[in-house]
Amino acid sequence: MLGDARFTTHDRDEAQELVQRVYPGSAFRECVAPFTYKQRVVGDGDAVSIARFEVSSRSELAVRFDEVIGIGMASGGDYRATSNDDPLDTARPFLLRPGIARSWSSDHHLMVVNLGVGALARHVGADDQGGRLRTASSAPLTDAAASYWCHVARHAASVFSTSALSSYALIHKATTDLVLASAVDAFGMTVEQVGSPAGDAAMPSAVRRAAQFIEDNAAAPIGIVEIAQAARMSVRGVQLAFRRALDTTPTEYLREARLRHAPEHLATSTPAETTVTEVARVWGFTNLGRFSTAYRQAYEESPRQTLER
């Protein structure tokens, strides 16, 4: 059902409570008075919602994206952000993956299109194919894709916020489908086939959250602490949960996920563009010998053979 909620406050605690209505578990880390905070959220529920934020003073905010992917567009003032500690280019549309986003800003306007991970997965056929949604880039793939995404996001915001269109269900559905399709194409989202038990819907939710976090951030410098935070468990707790559910450890699952990405990277590159050492480094392998051995065991050829094919 289409919703529209807007608020203005000068109180930091109330502002934090308003943010938490959109992103549970979020918190202001710093906020300088005098302070004016404005928030408006429109959308159709779990699939697509659009949040607009205005903050008049310098502030630092930590936001938890849970089962949601956000695509942000910032304007005015100063705005810097990270997604799971990866710096974002906020001069153009930027993608906020499930996990923790942090921002440092002053006197800015921000629009975030929130996309339900489940809705995106269904849109690209992940559920039907037994695969997992993968977000390849935190920025649009091309300048044309960035421009088109801005057009689609503003169009959707206009449709969802126009009260005269509130009873037009087909228009809302078409707009939602357009937003999902545009996000998939603009940011290169794909379905990754996974043969592990991590695709089993019966798996504990904490392990599913951790596994999805690993898949979404396989190239990032993450470790057991970040995985535990994504699962909302202690380090010991997530280790036990992985052992019980998957008969493996979180760090081994991370290593296997990275190893799955390496062949595509090598196969779509040439020796003039990259080296085996560089690909190993990108996917978190600091020991080239161990990477080559694991790669050969998994794919029955050396990484160099894949690169030179």
> Are 21 and 35 within one domain?
yes
> Are 72 and 213 within one domain?
no
> Are 169 and 208 within one domain?
no
Provide the pLDDT for residue 195.
Answer: 47
Q: Which of 131, 158, 193 is the last residue of a domain?
A: 193
> Are 10 and 73 within one domain?
yes
Count of structural domains within the chain: 2
pLDDT beyond 90 at 113:
yes
Q: Which of 148, 175, 193 is the last residue of a domain?
A: 193
pLDDT beyond 70 at 14:
yes
Q: Which of 193, 211, 245 is the last residue of a domain?
A: 193
> Are 210 and 79 within one domain?
no
Residue 233 belongs to domain spanning = 198-308
Q: What is the mean pLDDT of residues 98-112?
A: 89
Report the share of the chain in percent with pLDDT over 90: 28
> Are 2 and 93 within one domain?
yes
Q: Is 97 exposed, middle or buried (0-12, 13-18, 19+ CB in 10 A)?
A: buried
Q: What is the mean pLDDT of residues 255-261?
A: 89
pLDDT beyond 80 at 2:
no
> Are 57 and 83 within one domain?
yes
In CATH, what number is assigned to the domain containing residue 177? 2.60.120.10
The more confident residue out of 208 and 200 is 208
pLDDT in tens, 132-183: 667 767 888 888 989 999 999 999 999 999 989 888 889 998 999 999 989 9
Tell me the whole-structure pTM to 2 decimals.
0.61
pLDDT beyond 80 at 239:
yes
> Are 167 and 111 within one domain?
yes
> Are 176 and 234 within one domain?
no
pLDDT beyond 80 at 196:
no
Provide the pLDDT for residue 125.
Answer: 61
In CATH, what number is assigned to the domain containing residue 274? 1.10.10.60
> Are 66 and 102 within one domain?
yes
> Are 148 and 247 within one domain?
no
> Are 98 and 127 within one domain?
yes
